Amino acid sequence: MNRPYNFSAGPAAIPVEVLQQAAAQMLDWNGSGMGVMEMSHRGKEFISICEQAEADLRELLAIPSNFKILFMQGGGLAENAIVPMNLSRAGVVDFVVTGSWSQKSLKEARKYASEANTAASGEASGFCTLPDPAAWNLSRGASYVHICSNETIHGVEFQELPDLKALGSDAPLVIDFSSHVASRSVDWSRVGLAFGGAQKNLGPAGLTLVVVREDLLGHALPICPSAFDYKTVADNQSMYNTPPTWSIYIAGLTFQWLKRQAEGTLTGVAAMEARNAAKAALLYNAIDSSGLYVNKVAVPCRSRMNVPFFLRDESRNEAFLAGAKERGLLQLKGHKSVGGMRASIYNAMPMEGVQALVDYMREFEQRRA
């Protein structure tokens, strides 16, 4: 298929192979006589889809057996409320604010936790750097420490998850990995809970993934609705209420697609990590070697998934975007809160798409030099 390249921050492109497979089974899944959207979520057909998706995800992300995988709804914004309703029993929660999404998470948690502490913030740098963990002001006895491990708007990413124990904290680490889940490996020894919307790297909007350590279940606040209580959801295998069946199905196909990916001797998520590093390096090198484009994020914490950049002459922004659209390079306009441009290069974006963008950027600069 000759499709344009979609650089949207989300919902983002789904692998073409996955779309083709889903289309082939739209009306009849594996000879069942039913499309997935018609199935009972408690029927054996959909249960088999859900169980396979969970098994594939556990394998892909090397999720330990003492973590539960929950398929929920509401996206990352809902989890900003659901997490504190489940984990803030000690009262105090710590937040490391590194951009717009962790700001939103902090604001929402203040509605449920008795105290939400800003342990560190990158705001003074314009969210162009990550606060040094050695300087974090962590609370004694905090219920959890929250980070957004990749900020889609400001384009900063934790290249390594913080080791809270080494920082003197026994609190579980909560990560919002919505925008880089399955793009790189996860050190689960440092994580208590991870959540993310599927609509960037795992499938269509509608599915929210929660991976939670078993010892953190069963501590929900009395105000927490049963449908948001992680223990209730886990005890019912994510079927306490009607789940987003179609989104789970497409995510399951995406997990299988990810398992088939290869780069040299690497497969699965390891292959995607190598590929994503190469894609990001190609784009950042083009920006850094240019006289027209600039990326303001400190090099050690640049995101591999979301690359914001600016034209030094912003009067040329509209011409740049119009030319990009003519080339089939879509959704490059930056977030309204920061301006400029942004290229989101998630797992489904092939190297050819990044190369096409780089070629256009160089041509645009040369044509108007």
* Four-point Cα dihedral 9, 12, 15, 18, nearest 10: 150
* Structure token pair of residue 357: 């963008």
Annotation says 176 is catalytic: yes
Cis status, amide bond into 11, omega within 30 of 0: yes
* Residue whose C-alpha is closest to residue 46's, from 300, 287, 239, 302: 239
Angle between helices 75-87 and 100-109 (to 10 degrees): 40
CA angle 82, 245, 276 (to 5 degrees): 75
Q: Is 312 exposed, middle or buried (0-12, 13-18, 19+ CB in 10 A)?
A: exposed
Could you identify the residue written with the tokens 């590093």?
A: 277
Annotation says 101 is catalytic: yes
Cα distance between residue 130 and residue 134, in whole Å: 11
CA angle 178, 179, 185 (to 5 degrees): 85
From 29, 101, 246, 257, active-site residue: 101
From 68, 94, 200, 279, active-site residue: 200
344: helix, strand or coil: strand
From 56, 94, 176, 229, active-site residue: 176
Q: How many CB atoms lie within 10 A of CB 64?
A: 13
Q: What is the C-alpha end-to-end distance of the chain, expressed in Å?
A: 35
* Residue whose C-alpha is closest to residue 79's, from 244, 209, 234, 188: 209
Q: How many CA atoms lie within 13 A of 17 on its CB side?
A: 13
* Residue whose C-alpha is closest to residue 208's, from 97, 93, 80: 80
Residues with a catalytic annotation lie at 101, 176, 200
